[in-house]
Amino acid sequence: GFDDEAPDVNIDLPKDGAIVSGIITISASAFDDEEIDSVRFFVDGKEIDEVVSPPYSTSWDTRSVPDGYHIILVIAIDTSGNMSQDLISVNVQNSITPPPAP
């Protein structure tokens, strides 16, 4: 049948505004009345992974971007081509500033 219902997608980890460093897991939940075709993961608009079956998660090396705020976007697409998205912002902090000399 004709499906015009977009899937529900939510980024579960990391939390919006989280301070992250090193290699992290990005995980999302996606639900649809039909079947999820794929869940695509983006950082700052650049696709980093596409996952076609649950669990919808991927690893991201935060050292691939400069420190500061970055947008993680997840798009879920169902088998009829309907899509929905969720996005969060994370604060990447990989540079450790040494304490000042005494």
Count CB-CB contacts under 10 A for residue 101: 4
pLDDT averaged over every residue in the chain: 94
Distance CA 80, CA 40 (A): 16
Model's pTM, two decimal places? 0.90
pLDDT in tens, 61-86: 999 999 999 999 999 999 999 999 99
Distance CA 72, CA 12 (A): 12
What tokens were used for 5?
């219902």
Q: For residue 25, what pLDDT is reported?
A: 98
- 22 pLDDT higher than 70: yes
- 1 pLDDT higher than 70: no
